[in-house]
Amino acid sequence: MAASSLWSLNASAQLSYNQGDLLLGMRTPGPENDLIVDLGPASQYVNATGPITISGTYYTAAQFTASGLDFNNLYFSVFGDTAGNTIWATANSPLAEHTFYSQSIGAGQFEAIAQGAEDAGSWYSANAANSSSAVITPNVFFTGGGTDLSYTLGVLDPNSGVANFQYFGAVNEANTTAGFSAGSSPLYLNLYELDPYSNNTTQPPGTRLGYFELDPNGTLTFDAGVAPTPEPGTGFMFCAGMLALGAIRRFHRTV
């Protein structure tokens, strides 16, 4: 079905975004839509003392369904910035801080995605599912000069296809795979705060603020703690025990 037949003029559904908010971007390779969600001021995550529920609060199951995204092939990240070029981004490997000028590049990419979500939401809506905190946008949306970008175009490096916002040296997304919704293991993604620094001889590490947890039942939360390490399955424990037993027997044969 052509995109023009899916999108209708709807000037009332505009994302209520302010610089300093965190944005959640979700995409599935192939389908034509992204879902952009405003998670509110970054300060509430920086100062979080307990879990924050994202799903059902900032976006609904109906909005996710209307976006056409595949929960078992879902790519997502969280990002944001300030006018002073402090930036927040997710990754499952540590992120380092950079200079004010360097971080302005990442901040500019984030703002282009935010502007794209605001502008697309001002003019187009897949249906009445759009709201002031969550908008469905075409994943090919952009304007001249790159000042308005869809999440898909903003997060992916056009040359490598890596999801690094064309700025970071690490992958900033996590993704589910086939069968995720039928399983029992959550998906974790760390959130970092990066303040610009002025000392060009030392590159400080970013500050890890906590992690996002996506559960197979569709619940997405943020927690200021340390992401749990999944416990080994029974098959792994059995194999480990057999290996240990074999090592003990070999030891006794040699003494």
- pLDDT 10s digit of each residue in the chain, 255 long? 233 333 343 444 678 999 999 999 999 998 789 999 999 999 999 999 999 999 999 999 999 999 999 999 999 999 999 999 999 999 999 999 999 999 999 999 999 999 999 887 666 644 578 899 999 989 988 887 778 999 999 999 999 999 999 999 899 999 999 999 999 999 999 999 999 987 666 788 999 999 999 999 999 999 998 887 654 433 333 333 433 434 333 334 444
Query: Helix H segments across 146-230?
Result: 151-155
pLDDT for 167-208, tens place per residue?
998 999 999 999 999 999 999 999 999 999 876 667 889 999
Neighbours of 159 (CB within 10 A): 7
Contact status, residue 130 vs residue 10, Cβ threshold 8 Å: yes
pLDDT given for residue 219 in this prediction: 97
In which element (H, E) is residue 125 found? Answer: strand 124-125
pLDDT given for residue 103 in this prediction: 95
pLDDT given for residue 23 in this prediction: 98
Rounded CA separation 142/44 (Å)? 30
Neighbours of 83 (CB within 10 A): 9
Rounded CA separation 167/106 (Å)? 6
Angle at 177 between CA 167 and CA 50, to 5 degrees: 70
pLDDT given for residue 29 in this prediction: 94
pTM score, two decimals? 0.85
Rounded CA separation 245/164 (Å)? 45
Report residue 65: phi and psi, to 5°: -60, -45
125, 135, 28, 73: CA torsion to nearest 10: -120
The residues spanned by each domain of the chain are 3-228
Residues counted in the chain = 255
pLDDT given for residue 141 in this prediction: 87
